[in-house]
Amino acid sequence: MSIRQLTPDFFVAGQITPEDVPALKEHGFNALICNRPDGEDFGQPTVAEVTKAAEEAGMELVFIPVDHSSDLMTAALEMAEAIDRLPAPVLAYCRSGARCTTLFQAAQSLPKAG
């Protein structure tokens, strides 16, 4: 699995499996964000399977699925809220990590509340 660091507290990766989660926790990740809808590819682990593994490892997983029909602004708002709320460091994953990177950049470009 290839993990890319975007900021000191935010990383992206391609698809993870439930079996990957304990090692991710051991490497210091505290939360996960899944940007990949279930059923994109045959054999892809479901978000429920990864969520169960995350919960067993003491991690939270936030599901913000994004595909070609998604409203990017809504997804970016959800991503910004998740990043603000989740304990760092956070790993977001999708098929390749590209969708997570795009969504992270969109979330960072939003005006800050307050």
- Rounded Cα distance between 111 and 27, Å, is 32
Domain ranges within the chain, ordered by starting residue: 3-96
What's the pLDDT score for residue 111? Answer: 86
Residue 113 has pLDDT above 90, yes or no: no
Q: Do the Cβ atoms of 9 and 90 come closer than 8 Å? A: yes
pLDDT single digits (tens) 39-95: 999 999 999 999 999 999 999 999 999 998 999 999 999 999 999 999 999 999 999
- Rounded Cα distance between 27 and 102, Å, is 24
Domain boundaries 3-96, CATH class: alpha beta
User: How many CB atoms lie under 10 A from the CB of residue 106?
Assistant: 17
Output the average pLDDT for the chain: 95
The pTM for the full model equals: 0.95
